[in-house]
Amino acid sequence: FALLSGVLSKLGRKDENPYAPVNLLADFAGGGVLCAMGIVTALYERTKSGKGQIIDASMVEGVAYLSSFLWKSQNLGLWNRPRGENLLDSGAPFYETYKTSDGKFMAVGAIEPQFYKQLIKGLGLGSDKLPSQLSFSDWPKMKEEFASIFAQKTQAEWCSIFDGTDACVTPVLSFDEVASHHHNKQRSSFIKNDQEEISPRPAPLLSRTPAVPSFKRDPFIGEHTEEILLEYGFTKQEIAKLYSDKVIEFSEPKANL
């Protein structure tokens, strides 16, 4: 879907193959989220007209629409260079990820001049000794210099340097680390279910009617098949026929012994 929309051609580093953004871009963003937005939009319109309508949600078109910024900014100098050589696709030294001495990574997103100034200060560099921030021809050399500096300290050491600054430099955290990060802990961004499994809290958070997350484990596929079909008026005989025809499946939770 990202391929047919043209977006995949923009994803990847210089001199490398385009790479898939897991399945976040097409399945969830261009597909699920935009479909949900279409449903909400249609429900809102119904309050005025009293009529329903068909929602045509195409993942290809959804991904393409999400990339509107790429299309609209082509003539602004942001995407006129080959893949991996532009401002936001790993071409710029100040919008990149860098490996630390302990094999972890730091993410840098210091585009605005005031943020870039803080980045340079944290790296121990003098802006008077560096090329202009937007000197495209100097970006490869600058990236090498930034990489060599980041490789001299651990991720924790870089965090202590950049925490509390506006340098837009943050650690690249694993799933095992995010819940214990001080920012996420303060906002309760991640929750645990009754099986001690961590997952993101529902977002966005509404001030008056916030979602109340369930702390029960996720259901198994097919665990409530019969229960739901009975609620919708199917008889046990009809359900058994559907099961024997392999139209549906059941899954009973296993006891933890």
35: its two tokens:
């479909």
- Kindly report the backbone phi and psi dihedral angles of residue 32, in degrees, each rounded to the nearest multiple of 5, phi listed first: -65, -50
Instruction: Choose, from 15, 27, 56, 163, the residue flagged as catalytic.
Output: 27
In this structure, are residues 105 and 98 in contact, taking their beta carbons and an 8 Å threshold?
yes
In this structure, are residues 133 and 155 in contact, taking their beta carbons and an 8 Å threshold?
no
- Kindly report the backbone phi and psi dihedral angles of residue 106, in degrees, each rounded to the nearest multiple of 5, phi listed first: -120, 140
Using CA atoms, how far apart are residues 24 and 28, in angstroms rounded to an integer? 5
Q: Which of 78, 86, 98 is nearest to 170 (CA)?
A: 98
Active site residue 27: yes
Using CA atoms, how far apart are residues 158 and 172, in angstroms rounded to an integer? 12
Q: What three-state secondary structure class fits 99?
A: strand
In this structure, are residues 253 and 220 in contact, taking their beta carbons and an 8 Å threshold?
yes
Pairing of strands 198-200, 169-171: unpaired
Using CA atoms, how far apart are residues 26 and 63, in angstroms rounded to an integer? 6
Say which residues have a Cβ less than 8 Å from residue 81's Cβ, sequence separation at least 6. 91, 136
122: its two tokens:
């944290």
In this structure, are residues 21 and 11 in contact, taking their beta carbons and an 8 Å threshold?
yes
Query: Catalytic site residues?
Result: 27
